[in-house]
A and B are shown apart, each in its own frame.
Chain A
């Protein structure tokens, strides 16, 4: 199925300005089929993990932003998939776990990088060592999801968010999803330099010029208070 995800993600990158990943039915994704994984030779396991990395990288560092709409289980590889998206919306049924520690295996879909950076390596280690299962509220408090909504409302909210992101300048969206994680990997000095370069490039686009002109001409919406 990861190959099917990749084909869909690449198609979305070609023809959409934002994407939503969701699970049909009551669950988002519960990750790897452990029955097959246990039979996999060592090098096949390495290649499989590297393939996950490549596919999830097409989501995280592609050309358009993705929103995960999470209900039910986001477990193991399912949580790693969610962590590759840029915004995560969870409904009240969502739960999150990394049971690899209890299964005698290890995360292989980029979780040690993405989940660790999302919630912190200490909390990720807690989840793996103890088998702790988090509900949506706890995961929001830990920074793993940005929105918690009522049961069954995650997909609708995710589509709203994606539609709003789709109205952003394409280059700015590209810069947000590609520059921010790379700058986070840099030293402060290098990060600030890279930021100046990206900011200058963004300002030079026709889209930026049009949008800035619209704002100055009072044709663009102003930022409002959140309770407005």
Chain B
């Protein structure tokens, strides 16, 4: 999975990437595809989400 992700084609199947949450004043910032260095939200999370999202398998530009 990590190798696939490093190659830009990883999926979200094992929930490596999750969501970050931060308050900035009155605004909540919800970040997708959490980097491993960031604090996840919430702290308790399941290893496998019901409906996973993924980072792109390809990096095609606009045509």
Which residues of chain A have a CB within 8 Å of any CB of chain B?
Answer: 1-5, 7-9, 11-12, 15-25, 27-36, 48, 51-52, 72-73, 75, 77-78, 95, 132-135, 138, 159, 162-163, 166
Contact = CB atoms under 8 A, between A and B. Distances in A.
Interface string B27-63: 1111111110010111001100111111111011111
A73 to B, nearest CB: 5
A19 B62 contact: no
Contacts of B27: 16-20, 159, 162-163, 166
A32 B21 contact: no
A2 B35 CA distance: 17
Most chain-B CB neighbours within 10 Å: which of A1, A31, A132?
A1
B56 A72 contact: yes
B51 A2 contact: yes
Chain B at the A interface: SS class: loop
Contacts of A9: 30
Closest 6 CB pairs of A and B: A135-B62, A12-B28, A16-B28, A166-B26, A33-B11, A4-B19
A33 B49 CA distance: 11
A34 B13 CA distance: 10
Given A3-B50, A32-B54, 13 more contacts: A2-B52, A4-B18, A4-B41, A4-B42, A24-B33, A24-B34, A29-B33, A30-B57, A31-B54, A36-B13, A77-B53, A133-B63, A163-B25
A65 B11 CA distance: 29
Contacts of A21: 30, 32
B50 A95 contact: no
Nearest to A20: B29
A21 B34 CA distance: 12
Contacts of A11: 21, 28, 41
B23 interface: yes
B50 A32 contact: no
A75 B56 contact: yes
Q: Interface range on chain B: under 10, 10 to 19, 20 to 34, or 35 or more?
A: 35 or more
Contacts of B50: 2-3, 48, 51
Nearest to A139: B62
A30 B52 contact: no
Contact of B33 (A27, A51, A162): A27
